[in-house]
Amino acid sequence: MTLSEQITSDMKDAMKAKANATLSTLRLLRSAIKNKEIDLQHDLSDEDVLVVLKSQVKQLKDSIESYADAGRDEMVKDAQVEVELLSAYLPAEMGDEALEEIVRTVIEQTGASSKADMGKVMGAAMKAANGGADGNRVKEIVMRLLPTLLVAVMVTLSQTTTVFAAIPIAGDGSTSLITSGMMVVSLQAFRVIILWFGIGAIVTILNGGFLYMTSSMRDDLHNRALSQMTTGIFISMIVAATFAATTVVLQQIG
């Protein structure tokens, strides 16, 4: 029996038992599942139903906070009962150690090296967790395990600068692997390419900002906008650091 079928069966049982509170909660859940099926134009898999379930639970928890702030204790209790009912369909929460091990494995498999790779790590880790952890827990661990992009870039640039410094250049009496003129031209061309990436980063930030302003705080577009702006900022940092490093190398050559 699929999760969707189980929910429908439980709804029928609640109807027979005249458990009105349970029946009302499951009807709302079933309606949300049906709406999602209409949007996607196909029956939902168990994974899809879990997404709907988590969304419903999140909405209820947000409502609990609002009710508590307004001093509406009775509504808080009712919403908490609904949360408990829906949470029974969710997988047991995965422990921190097991979840961290999943994230580490995903980072190794994807070759992620900085927070710019957070998107692909998050997607693969959430799939591997199979509903055993919410996005906030996974995100926290990913943020902790992935180095900042600037640190990764600076390490790479430092290594690159060392390599350039070790290359014999024509004119110092040694056997030359490359002429200073060739190196200067190559680095200048590289800087032009980097600047184009910088322009792309600025466009990404602007697009993300526009999407952020026009999206709801709780929908997927809002998260996508934040991701775009974050990516644009990180790329801008890469461009700035790389441009500075190549400038240093060019000054050394000169």
pLDDT given for residue 135 in this prediction:
77
Beta partners for 169? Answer: 178
Can you give the three-state secondary structure of the chain, one letter per residue? CCHHHHHHHHHHHHHHHCCHHHHHHHHHHHHHHHHHHHHHCCCCCHHHHHHHHHHHHHHHHHHHHHHHHCCCHHHHHHHHHHHHHHHCCCCCCCCHHHHHHHHHHHHHHHCCCCHHHHHHHHHHHHHHHCCCCCHHHHHHHHHHHCCCHHHHHHHHHHHHHHHHHHCCECCCCCCCCECHHHHHHHHHHHHHHHHHHHHHHHHHHHHHHHHHHHCCCCCHHHHHHHHHHHHHHHHHHHHHHHHHHHHHHHHHHC
Longest dimension (CA), the chain: 95
- Please tell me whether the overall predicted TM-score, pTM, comes out greater than 0.85 for this model: no
Per-residue pLDDT of the chain (254 residues; tens, 9 = 90+): 899 999 999 999 999 999 999 999 999 999 999 999 999 888 888 888 988 998 899 899 999 999 998 899 999 999 999 999 998 998 888 888 888 899 989 988 888 877 777 788 888 888 888 777 777 788 888 888 876 444 455 555 555 555 555 555 444 444 444 455 666 677 777 777 877 877 877 887 887 777 777 765 555 666 667 777 777 787 788 878 877 877 777 676 65
pLDDT given for residue 149 in this prediction:
42
Distance CA 17, CA 9 (A): 12
Distance CA 32, CA 27 (A): 9
- The answer to whether 48 and 36 are in contact (CB under 8 A) is yes
